[in-house]
Amino acid sequence: MASIKDVANLAGVGLGTASRALSGKGYVAPETKRKIEEAARKLSYTPNVFAQNLLKNRSGIIGILVPALDHCFFSRLVQELESDLYKKGYKTMLCCTVSGGHGEEDYLDMLENNLVDGIITATHSFNDEAYLRSKRVVVSFDRDFGGHIPMVRSDHKAAGRMAAEHFIDRGCKKILNIYGEDAREGHISVGMAHRELKDCLEAAGIQVLEEYTRQDKFDMGYYSEIAGRCLERYRDVDGVFASDPLAEAFLWEGERRGKKIPQDLKIISYDGTEMTRSISPRISAIVQQIDKISQDLTNILTRRIQGEEIPEDKITEILWRQGETC
């Protein structure tokens, strides 16, 4: 636990000189510098980050809020964010707001206490004021706070249209459009995709049924239950649009009930994470480009931290990936 004072003493110089030599800024004679560096090495000196933080009033830590990691979309996103943040010199503090049983506000309080330099939030609850009040830099994924908080999201309208085109193209007559109940309201942007799908399909004279899932459960048990129930209730549905894990649940539950896929039931999933192409049959998907989303989120955040006024929102293109379910 050698301090810079110890280094200065051992090198026989003043404490300020040692600081300048080790931080590399300010004039130090080469010879003096050498002595100081040697002393530092001898004492295996390592600067105390806490003191540096206090002085600079920043920690180099970014807080990431996600509902949970057992939803593959979020674990991918977090992994990507962590990597991008590291490259920019930031560390990642992880907060899972649903799975741990403690909520968003607990975390916000914690983060607010000066601990983090900025926050990336990708959660689904509704206490917007807490964020708007925040003195930290905040960037949002897929959630519109309406205030000064920038948002990054995929081009959901294009996604909805694209899904509709594929269903129409395949001659579907009755589509089940199923998504999170919170996305109904408008705060969560992904709802746009589902609304656009509905509009496009109905304009083409195709019947659309809607169902909503809870946003505090991400396990396959829950998704299977939902899929099973829907398939029992709507026997003549011939197309489903749902997020990856739910789409997978429809795939298995459909097959269990003797449906041929894609002949009897077409499935398009939204997100297009790894799981949709690692199973057999591969699920046809509209892909959110998580790598680009992560880059946009981290770019906007770090530039804002440095005081730049970055344009508010950023919309990322979506892609179609042909699978075997539509």
Residues lying near DNA in the complex (CB under 7 A): 1, 3-5, 12-17, 19-20, 22-23, 25-29, 31-33, 45, 47-48, 50-52, 54-55, 57
Q: How many CA atoms lie within 13 A of 236 on its CB side?
A: 5
Q: Which residues pair with 65 in a beta bridge?
A: 95, 121
Contact 276, 244 (CB under 8 A): yes
Choose between 66 and 151: whose C-beta lies nearer to its own copies: 66
Choose between 23 and 322: whose C-beta lies nearer to DNA: 23
Choose between 2 and 158: whose C-beta lies nearer to its own copies: 2
- In the complex, least distance from residue 106 CB atom to its own copies, rounded to whole angstroms: 8
- Which one of its own copies, DNA, none interacts with residue 263, CB within 5 to 8 A by kind? none
Residue 227 Cα distances to 252, 256, 280, angstroms: 9, 11, 18
Choose between 29 and 203: whose C-beta lies nearer to DNA: 29
Sequence letter at residue 18:
A
Instruction: Give CA–CA dist 131/100, Å, rounded.
Output: 20
Is the backbone peptide bond immediately before 281 cis, with ω within 30 degrees of 0? yes
- Which one of DNA, its own copies, none interacts with residue 158, CB within 5 to 8 A by kind? none
Tokens 């990708």, located at residue: 122
Residue 89 Cα distances to 60, 135, 188, 295, 298, angstroms: 7, 21, 30, 14, 11
Report which of 265, 178, 188 is spatially closest to residue 222, judged by C-alpha positions. Answer: 178
- Which one of DNA, its own copies, none interacts with residue 231, CB within 5 to 8 A by kind? none
- Which one of DNA, its own copies, none interacts with residue 306, CB within 5 to 8 A by kind? none
Choose between 16 and 186: whose C-beta lies nearer to DNA: 16
- In the complex, least distance from residue 278 CB atom to its own copies, rounded to whole angstroms: 3
Residues at the site binding its own copies, with contacts judged by CB under 8 A: 1, 46-51, 53-54, 57, 59, 61, 64, 68-70, 72, 75-76, 78-79, 82-83, 86-87, 91-96, 99-102, 110, 112-115, 135, 219-220, 223-224, 245, 248-249, 252, 255-256, 274-275, 277-280
Contact 121, 138 (CB under 8 A): yes
